[in-house]
């Protein structure tokens, strides 16, 4: 969709906002308070299960931001959230009125948690309203949509981050350290998978809404972990990617349920340094494991991708990782709030989300071509 037109009052609004920011800065200095100590305001766009079950509790734990508004298709639901979190009802927006966010300086960040097919539209709307954006994974249903989202954020000079919570989890921070410092040598072989069973029709198995099946939803975690382990810089460079992939779709056991998306698939990733990754993902089974092997040792997580309770074993015994946070999402959200305050880019940027969509599209092309090797060009 084309960018939303800017309201005629945008320049006046930005000028008044800038003037207000200067006044607030001077006032903060007079009180001896650093501007970075101010909590930023977040509005949740979409109030489904993930927002209720994970993000709402996380936002009660964040130190650098707090919930100050919602964007929802249900006014009644928005009112219930306003009562629970103590923000005014004027901070309840519909998807059709997101442009009005430009007039609300209390909200700095919009967290987009709507179905995948709506990510591009809602991210762009938030950006054109002058708000920084966290977009839940996967970034979008296509690379073209990712490009549009990045363009909207660049045009409005706002930051964009993707909801890759595990990048901040201590066990994965250790994985990245091992990749960088090569205690075991460079990781050469990564394996694992993530699977669970879906028994009824939900939007996640509707191609128009989800863009695909389990690869888009949960297989993306395996893809992320493989890139972390293979990236010897250890910093999860946003465009680091395999050079090629191959994939095979599983025969459908329930074709009536999985009419237009895969029920499961296996895929292989090849990296420029010779490392490989072999993974499986499915909506018909049970699996939750990641393993990275090097010449002098290995690192394994099982369970590997859950919201908590991750367990790690290594060839050298238990690693000295820190205690898991009470909420992975709280750490993820707080990091982005600090990025906004400090003027730095998110380590899980929109460029990383786009990279993952490039890889996913290559995997689907390999399936369509009978499992042929497909080069990845980020």
Beta-carbon neighbour count of residue 169 at 10 Å?
A: 23
**Which among 93, 111, 131, 137 is annotated as catalytic?**
137
What span, in angstroms and rounded, lies between the C-alpha atoms of 205 and 211?
Answer: 9
How does 57-87 read in b/e, with b if 16+ C-beta sit within 10 Å? ebbeebebbbbbbbbbeeeeebeebbeebeb
Task: Note if 39 is an active site residue.
Answer: no
Distant-in-sequence, close-in-space partners of 28: CB < 8 Å, separation ≥ 6: 34, 35, 37, 38
Q: Which of 93, 172, 221, 299 is catalytic?
A: 221
Cβ neighbours, 10 Å, residue 185: 12
The answer to whether residues 118 and 91 touch, using CB atoms and an 8 Å cutoff, is no
Q: Is 137 an active-site residue?
A: yes
Active site residues: 137, 221
């Amino acid at each position: 969709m084309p960018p939303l037109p800017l309201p005629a009052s945008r320049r006046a609004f930005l000028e008044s906002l800038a003037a207000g920011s200067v006044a607030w800065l001077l006032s903060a200095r007079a009180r001896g308070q650093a501007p970075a100590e101010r909590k930023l305001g977040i509005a949740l766009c979409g109030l489904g299960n993930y927002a209720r079950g994970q993000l709402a509790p996380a936002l009660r734990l964040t130190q650098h931001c707090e919930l100050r508004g919602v964007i929802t298709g249900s006014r009644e639901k928005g009112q219930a959230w306003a009562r629970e979190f103590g923000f005014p009802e004027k901070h309840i927006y519909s998807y059709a009125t997101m442009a009005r966010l430009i007039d609300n300086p209390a909200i700095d960040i919009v967290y987009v948690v709507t179905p995948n097919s709506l990510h591009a539209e809602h991210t762009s709307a938030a950006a054109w309203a002058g708000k920084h954006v966290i977009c839940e994974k996967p970034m979008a249903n296509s690379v073209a949509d990712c490009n549009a989202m990045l363009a909207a954020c660049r045009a409005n000079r706002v930051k964009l981050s993707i909801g890759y919570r595990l990048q901040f989890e201590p066990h994965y921070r250790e994985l990245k350290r091992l990749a960088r410092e090569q205690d075991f040598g460079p990781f050469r072989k990564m394996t694992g998978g993530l699977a669970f069973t879906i028994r009824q029709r939900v939007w996640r198995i509707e191609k128009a809404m989800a863009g695909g099946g389990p690869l888009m939803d949960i297989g993306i975690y395996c893809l992320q972990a493989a890139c972390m382990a293979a990236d010897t810089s250890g910093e999860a460079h946003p465009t680091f990617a395999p050079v090629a992939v191959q994939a095979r779709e599983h025969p459908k056991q329930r074709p009536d349920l999985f009419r237009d998306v895969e029920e499961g698939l296996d895929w292989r990733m090849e990296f420029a340094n010779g490392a490989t990754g072999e993974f499986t993902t499915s909506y018909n089974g049970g699996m939750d494991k990641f393993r990275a092997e090097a010449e002098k040792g290995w690192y394994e997580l099982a369970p590997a991708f859950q919201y908590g309770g991750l367990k790690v074993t290594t060839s050298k015994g238990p690693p000295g990782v820190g205690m898991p946070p009470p909420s992975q999402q709280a750490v993820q959200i707080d990091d982005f709030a600090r990025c906004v305050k400090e003027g730095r880019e998110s380590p899980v940027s929109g460029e990383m989300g786009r990279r993952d969509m490039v890889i996913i599209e290559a995997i689907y092309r390999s399936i369509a071509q009978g499992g042929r090797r497909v080069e990845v060009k980020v």
